[in-house]
């Protein structure tokens, strides 16, 4: 039995925001296991501040925790395990086109810097304003514009996406 009267609010918040938080964490880390760990750690940190933030903007506070933890982890020397072998290429049928596009977009996002990746994802997938992204990343609005522009330029010039329309088409179909 729980002694904290706010714990039911927190449980409901976690259930409501888990998927979106895990999606944000995955977009930043590009790794399912790391994303799940990041989301769990973020909710754990949020729990300790729940009484203060539950009446305000807990979603924004949670996004800030996830983004800050991701960027902080990227600064550390040890970034975890690295695979030593690559899986062999396997020929697949044409029915995997959407999966191929998703993998190509994931690879293109992986080539962006962590701040560019965060700025592009938060601006376009989370549909946050430049000011909100700046607050989350701890930088100026101008820096967000620069990270976003450079990130989009890199995605547009990626050899898989020959035109900006292809990139916009992926976003429109929910792949991006």
User: What confidence score (pLDDT) does residue 169 get?
Assistant: 58
pLDDT band at 175 (very low <50, low <70, confident <90, very high): very low
Give residue 1's pLDDT band: very low, low, confident or very high (50, 70, 90).
very low
Per-residue pLDDT at 72 exceeds 60: yes
Tell me: pLDDT of 176 over 50. no
**In the predicted model, what is the mean pLDDT of the chain?**
81
> pLDDT tens for residues 21-41?
999 999 999 999 999 999 999
The answer on pLDDT for 99 being more than 70 is: yes
How far apart are alpha carbons 23 and 121 in whole angstroms? 10
106 compared with 14, residue with greater pLDDT? 14
> Could you tell me the pLDDT band of residue 129, with boundaries at 50, 70 and 90?
very high
pTM for this model (two decimals): 0.61
Confidence at residue 102, expressed as pLDDT on a 0 to 100 scale = 79
Q: How confident is the model at residue 98 (pLDDT cuts 50, 70, 90)?
A: confident
Long-range contact list for 142-148, CB < 8 A, 24+ apart? 144/119, 147/113, 147/115, 147/116, 147/118, 147/119, 147/120, 148/116, 148/119, 148/120, 148/123
DSSP-H helix ranges across the chain: 7-29, 32-48, 50-53, 58-75, 97-110, 114-120, 130-137, 141-156, 164-172
Q: Which of 15-24, 70-79, 165-174 has the highest mean pLDDT?
A: 15-24
Rounded to a whole number, what is the distance in angstroms from the first to the last CA of the chain?
42
Query: What average pLDDT does the segment 137-143 reach?
Result: 94
């Amino acid at each position: 039995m729980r002694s904290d009267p706010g714990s039911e609010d927190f449980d409901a918040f976690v259930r409501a925001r888990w998927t979106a938080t895990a999606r944000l964490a995955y977009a930043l880390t590009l790794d399912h296991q790391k994303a799940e760990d990041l989301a769990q750690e973020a909710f754990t940190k949020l729990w300790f501040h729940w009484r203060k933030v539950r009446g305000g903007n807990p979603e924004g506070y949670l996004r800030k925790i996830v983004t800050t933890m991701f960027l902080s982890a990227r600064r550390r020397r040890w970034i975890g395990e690295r695979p030593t072998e690559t899986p062999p290429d396997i020929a697949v049928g044409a029915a995997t086109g959407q999966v191929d596009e998703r993998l190509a977009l994931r690879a293109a996002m992986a080539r962006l810097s962590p701040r560019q990746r965060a700025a592009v994802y938060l601006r376009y997938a989370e549909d946050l304003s430049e000011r909100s992204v700046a607050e989350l990343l701890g930088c100026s609005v101008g820096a967000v514009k620069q990270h976003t522009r450079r990130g989009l330029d890199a995605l547009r010039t990626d050899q898989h996406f020959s035109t900006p329309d292809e990139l916009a088409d992926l976003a429109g179909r929910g792949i991006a």
